[in-house]
Amino acid sequence: MSAENRENGAPMSETARAESRDRARRLLATTPVLDGHNDLPWALREQVGYDLARRELTEDQSESLHTDLGRLESGGVGAQFWSVYVRTDLAGETAVTATLEQVDCVRALLQRYPERLAWAGSASEVERARELGRTASLMGAEGGHSIACSMGALRGLHELGVRYLTLTHNDNVPWADSATDEPVAGGLTRFGAEVVREMNRLGMLVDLSHTSADTMRDALRASRAPVIFSHSSARAVCDHPRNVPDDVLGALPDNGGVAMATFVPKFVLPEVAEWDARLDRYLAERGLHPLAEEDEAWRARREFEEAEPRPVARVSDVADHLDHMREVAGVDHIGLGGDFDGTVFTTSGLGDVSCYPELVAELLDRGWSEQDLAKLTWHNPIRALRAAEEVADRLRRTESPSIATVEQLDGGSASR
């Protein structure tokens, strides 16, 4: 129940909400947020070509970015999966190269801010960074196109520190269907299942955000380790294909996985999802891609929004997703993945990385215990990461690195 809709029908006073925010900040000082997905590296690539001096993160970058170091700290973010995402129109060796450049960007950030950020490639290293008072920095590759159907490339990314791979982005890969593309494989192909098994052997988390529901189900069957959804919410609350169906959420306890709710408005509020689909059509009619960053695309978005104001998703709407996800998956299998710097629009009250206390305050006002909130923000993703490491330690004693190819297992096609 939203804080604005208590039993007496009266809205919560600002004084009461301020008290909840103070309580939330105290909680996050002890058990901070381990956020599943932040696209700062891609934003730095697009905005300044990785010239980090032009986006000095020790300074307020709110005019350009959702993320800077001061706001990370004020938001109670103790660990961050930095997405080393590349667009799906970059394919093959080009995609691999661009992903390596993204990894290099994260490494450069760590070298530039060693007193504020700390490298972490394991659950223990995340906890150690927190003990040192630094934001633990992990990496996740967003989209199977980043490995160009190569097990060697997959192992190379793991060796460089990438600790999850999102199996698809917005488009299918030859071995897995995306949530937002026309299905071809019907889920995972044989090669796709082999990718999941090799990820288990490596200790790389299988990330099922962006995948089709059938890919989710196939991956859950194939995986010997916990899976994650790095930035996805509940389909029952907002019927968008990027969100997680209840049967998949209900399977997480047996798997040990974690679904990390996102704050992207079109995945949060149905009215925004419908508005966003109309915006995409408006852009397409003008020959513009929905994710285009050119000035012409921004002008078109502004024109559309002036003619048809965008519905507003609020903190309470995100909390509705978390209430539902908790009910279906259980409090041990949910987390947070804001997707900051990876979205044009943000949820009101959750406009940047400083805003996590606002969400925690809303959940406190709904009756969530501090113990359950600590699981949501920190303990659940740490547990999943550690469990994946333990599975990998066991599998590496009995399994050799996979040398399978998509041609061998799928005949060069995406059919089973």
Query: Any idea which residues carry the catalytic annotation?
Result: 37, 39, 142, 169, 210, 231, 339
Residue carrying structure tokens 């996050």: 28
- d(CA 218, CA 227) in angstroms, rounded, equals 12
Strands 258-261 and 162-166: unpaired
Give me the helix-helix angle, 213-222 and 190-202, nearest 10°.
Answer: 50
Tell the burial category of 410 from Cβ atoms under 10 Å away from its Cβ (0-12, 13-18, 19+). Answer: buried
What single letter denotes the amino acid at residue 407? E
Tell the burial category of 24 from Cβ atoms under 10 Å away from its Cβ (0-12, 13-18, 19+). Answer: buried
Rounded to the nearest angstrom, the gap between the alpha carbon of residue 121 and the centroid of all alpha carbons in its chain is 17
Q: What angle do CA 321, 289, 306 make, to 5 degrees?
A: 70
- d(CA 248, CA 365) in angstroms, rounded, equals 28
- d(CA 269, CA 26) in angstroms, rounded, equals 29
